[in-house]
Amino acid sequence: MTSLSPTTRTTLGRKRNRAASDRETLYAVLDEALICHLGVVHDGTPLVLPTGYGRDGDTLYLHGSTGAASLRTAAGELDVCVTVTLVDGIVYCRSLNNHSMNYRSAVIFGRARALTGRDEKMHGLRVLTDHLAPGSWEHSRGVNAKEFAAVSVLALDLSEASVKLRAEGPDDEPEDVAADAAWAGVLPIRTVFGEPEPSADLPSTWSVPEHVRTRVSEAAAQ
């Protein structure tokens, strides 16, 4: 599956020229972002909460406590909506009305499935870990039985999704450009990793492990 197949829910109503139709762009947005927002209707009230996630192929894994109302509701065979947004820049225009943002965003609709089998749930946990903190699955202590029972992992298919992007400069009216009365341009935004900060109770014999240090080096090289 290499292209997105728009549905009524994923067809853009405005700025349709900003829609991406290839699935690789969807993957790129999901793989770069670190958190999603899960939207459900819980007890008749809209509920949208930041949620940990990870992607493996065309499956999005969502993660949280078994006590989380959002995940319990999402597992109840009803439609959910997951959104991810990356903001790449603030667009300053000559008119206030035309100020904007450069961004990449994804919206996924579907019905999430709670993972109950040990192997499948453990795989989901590994995907989530590798997304947020790659290398930690091999480095840290594994999940024990109590922790495994207390965590909920949902699987959501990526078959119904849309991607919208803006990567442009100011879009001013010709008369505002001619008037030349204000500065216009783009202020880029980048998310970078800073220097690792060891835990206060960590013995001084520990150095920053390679899987953590590598992320800092990659960010510095950008």
Q: Quick: pLDDT tens for 135-190.
A: 999 999 999 999 999 999 999 999 999 999 999 999 999 999 999 999 999 999 99
Concatenated DSSP letters of 169-189: -----HHHHHHT-S--EEEE-
Query: Residue 96's CB: how many other CB atoms inside 10 A?
Result: 8
Q: In the numeric block, which tokens belong to residue 152?
A: 């909920």
Q: Quick: pLDDT tens for 56-96.
A: 999 999 999 999 999 999 999 899 999 999 999 999 999 99
| Spans of all domains in the chain | 16-191
pLDDT at 99: 97
What are the distances in angstroms from CA 138 to CA 77, 126, 209, 211? 34, 10, 12, 10
Higher pLDDT, 18 or 141: 141
Q: What is the DSSP letter of 141?
A: P
Spatial neighbors of 45 by CB under 8 A, at least 6 apart, are: none
CA proximity to 80, closest of 116, 119, 53, 120:
53
Alpha-carbon gap, residue 33 to 7, rounded angstroms: 24
Q: Quick: pLDDT tens for 95-119.
A: 999 999 999 999 999 999 999 999 9
Q: Quick: pLDDT tens for 24-42.
A: 999 999 999 999 999 999 9
Residue found by looking up tokens 């999704």 in the block: 161
Q: Count Cβ neighbours within 10 Å for each residue of 54-82 and write b for 16 or more, e otherwise.
A: bbeeeebbbbbeeebebbbbbbeeeebbb
Three-state secondary-structure class, residue 206: coil
Rounded to 5 degrees, φ, ψ at 10 are: -105, 0
pLDDT at 128: 98
Domain 16-191: which CATH number of 3.30.450.20, 3.30.930.10, 2.60.200.20, 2.30.110.10: 2.30.110.10
pTM of the model: 0.91
CA proximity to 108, closest of 150, 164, 179, 153:
164
pLDDT at 219: 60
pLDDT at 101: 97
Spatial neighbors of 75 by CB under 8 A, at least 6 apart, are: 112, 113, 114, 152, 154
